[in-house]
Amino acid sequence: VDTPLNEVLQAFLKNPHVTIACVINQEERLVGIIKEEWFAEMMLVPAMPEKFIQDPEQYEKAIAYARMDPDQKAFDIMLDPVYISHEGTLEEAFVEMQSKGLVGLPMVNKHYRVVGYLSLTELLDIYFGQA
């Protein structure tokens, strides 16, 4: 929750196959996620705004990113939690990924503690490996 954004960046860099960062609270329960693509955009737009300012909407986005506080924490930018139960089905995982535009999901136990991560590639492998 209070992880600095530079540590979130390091976590993404150390785990290139994972496309979301899980935000957990002091009880180690999932409270939110940070999508890699959104995080990358948030970090890169201020670094090279001229590449992104093509129309008024992008200009406004670049200005908003430039105004972001460098001391922000994971909690400040997280999205609502998206997950699949570790007892869930492949079908449930796929539907959740599709509905949220994700290519991976954290898996949680009944206490909402993260126990794993299921990527779309792993889902395909498991599903077609059963055929």
In this prediction, residue 30 carries a pLDDT of 97
Could you give all domains of the chain from N- to C-terminal order, each with its CATH number? 1-81 (no CATH), 83-131 (3.10.580.10)
In this prediction, residue 83 carries a pLDDT of 96
**Residue 119 pLDDT > 60:** yes
Position of tokens 């590639």? 121
For the segment 12-17, the average pLDDT, to the nearest whole number, is: 88
Beta strand segments in the chain, E: 20-24, 30-35, 84-85, 104-108, 114-119
Of the two residues 52 and 75, the one the predictor is more confident about is: 75
In this prediction, residue 28 carries a pLDDT of 95
Of the two residues 73 and 52, the one the predictor is more confident about is: 73
Which pLDDT band holds residue 92 (cuts at 50, 70, 90)?
very high
In this prediction, residue 72 carries a pLDDT of 82
Q: Residue 47: how many CB atoms within 10 A of its CB?
A: 9
| 31-43 confidence digits (pLDDT tens) | 999 998 888 877 7
